[in-house]
Amino acid sequence: MEAMEEEENGRNIYKTITIALAVVAVVLLGVLIYIWSDRNGMIDDLTIEKDQLTQQMEELKGDYAVLSSTNDSINVELDREREKVEQLLERVKKTEATNKAKLRQYEKELGTLRAVMKHYIVQIDSLNTLNSQLREEASQARAEAKKSKKQYEEASRTANEYAKKIEQGSQLKGRAISMVALAGNGKETVRSSRVVKLKVNVTLVENSIAEHGYKYIYIRIKDPDGILMADGQDQIFTVAGESMIYSERREVDYQGAEVDLSIYYPAASFSKGVYVAEVYTEEGLLGTTDLLLK
């Protein structure tokens, strides 16, 4: 009897253990299913995030592609930024969607590249505005030119990239360039036998953004044979990096307003023919004129 009871108890214990193990197995299976489902959901979310990040990078690449400027320095910098966008896009494509840390890092880099692009957009808009102002200034009155000068100075302080444009706009320019021949009594003549000196007239136009101060205006006069008329080889000046011999020069105190001036070149004798005069500053050629002596 006792043996039968022990056998019955053993069967009950075995049955209990079996049930317990089955319950544990079911619970573990449920946990595994939950973990698997949660992981797949997380992967799906990260995949969506990666796809969205990739799309944003493609859009930024397209925005950079259409961005351009007339300024060579800005264009070089834009090319560098385009390369950065391209490299970041390749890194995003090669990164697994499960690498959340990397994707967050790339997202921050994307934000930086966007900010840089906005900065260049502002620069390009400012440059276009400046170009428009430079074109308009040629026809503005003196009061408007003073106002433009302030705008140019502000632009120069805030953007060194515009230095070249400002320099071009600030160069001295001349107009009303002419040449006459004078006799000994100071009256104009075209008879070569009566001429004692040539007079070259030039008007320096108003330019409020040009550098103020004392400047030399040079003339180079060529005789009918095309030979430069000069008193000595030491009469040398430099224009745009090139050394040249001048016939005569005159110093003028230029303060931005229009200036009329004359430069005289005397000689012992003059022959018949066409004389050509070139007028220079150290920045460049202001213009040319000619005169026929009979």
Q: pTM higher than 0.85, yes or no? A: no
Question: Hey, where are the domains in the chain?
Answer: 2-129, 174-293
How far is residue 220's CA from residue 246's CA, in Å, rounded to a whole number? 5
Q: Give average pLDDT by consecutive 10-residue segment, the chain, 294 residues.
A: 60 70 63 51 63 80 76 80 82 75 79 80 75 68 67 60 55 89 93 95 87 92 93 83 92 91 92 95 91 94
Q: Which of 248-267 are b and which e, b meaning 16 or more Cβ less than 10 Å from the residue's Cβ?
A: beeebebebeebeeebebee
Place of tokens 């950079």: 64
Place of tokens 């018949």: 272
Quick one: pLDDT at residue 4?
61
Using CB atoms within 10 Å of the CB of residue 53, give its burial: 0 to 12 exposed, 13 to 18 middle, 19+ buried.
buried
Length of the chain measured in residues: 294
Quick one: pLDDT at residue 105?
83
Q: Which fold has domain 174-293?
A: Immunoglobulin-like (2.60.40)
Q: Where would I find the beta strands (DSSP E) of 131-258?
A: 174-183, 195-204, 213-222, 228-229, 236-239, 242-245, 248-254
